[in-house]
Structure 1
Amino acid sequence: MSHVLDLKKKITSLVANYQNTKNENLQLRNDKKEMTKVINRLEGEVKILTKRVEVVDLVQGVDLKDKDAMIFARKRVNNLIRDIDKCISLLNE
């Protein structure tokens, strides 16, 4: 009879461990979703800040009077225009 009681205790313990693990797994999945949202938001912010840096570089390049700076600025403007054209074509599809 004690074997049956021991077995019941072990089963009860296993069920409790299973429930705890299941709850922990659910919490970890929720945490992962939240972290993914944070990562996506931060990646968006990085893209925005990168564009701002490009604009600052462009403005600083225009302020300089040497020929290399003007070439740099012209290339940047052309790249930005290409990006804008790509966006417009995607919107028109």
Structure 2
Amino acid sequence: MSLNNLISNIEKKLSNLLSSYQNLNDKNLKLEDENKKLTSKIEDNSQIINSLNDKIKIMSISKSVDVSNNDIKQTKLKINEYIREIDKCIAQLNN
């Protein structure tokens, strides 16, 4: 092979390598973007799950009230307990 042929072959291979690099780089950028979107979705879903867990907690507390209990003092204590629990939930949502 002549020197010109060798140089031509090297140029072709280099061109192919550069093209492959650009394609892989484009794919990498797309995958990084998709990763960011999915990470954001996961964070949003985690917040929704935490909010729903807090609602479940509040519902379980509200079911623990004895409806037939006529003692006003006990009822006020239960209401205060609910308010504290709600305040905790709000604080968690703000974080």
TM normalised by structure 1 equals: 0.70
Deviation at 1:29, TM superposition (A): 0.4
Q: Counterparts of 1:72 and 1:2 in 2: how far apart (Å)? A: 90
The residue correspondences of 1:11-90 to structure 2 (distance < 5 A) are: 11-64=11-64, 70=78, 73-81=82-90
Equivalent residue number for residue 69 of structure 2: none
Structure 1 moving runs of 4+ over 3 Å: 70-74, 80-84
Cα deviation for residue 43 of structure 1 reads 1.2
Q: What residue in structure 2 maps to residue 7 of structure 1?
A: 7
Taking a change above 3 Å as real, the CA distance of residues 5 and 62 of structure 1, as seen in their structure-2 partners, is: same
Q: Percent identity?
A: 12
Aligned-pair distance for 1:8?
Answer: 1.4
Which structure's CA Rg is the greater one?
2
Unaligned runs of 5+ in 2: 66-73
Gap regions ≥5 residues in structure 1? 87-93
Whether the aligned pair in 1 keeps the contact of 2:54 and 2:89 (CA below 8 Å) is no
Hey, what's the Cα distance between the residues in 1 that align with 2:81 and 2:25?
A: 52
Counting matched residue pairs gives: 83
Partner of 1:90: none
Aligned 8 A contact 2:61 2:82 in 1:
yes
TM-score norm. by structure 2 comes to 0.68
Give the superposition deviation at 1:16: 0.9
Matching residue of 2:71: none
RMSD (Å) for aligned C-alpha atoms: 2.8
- Deviations 1:35-60, CA, capped at 9 Å, x for gaps: 21122112101101110011101211
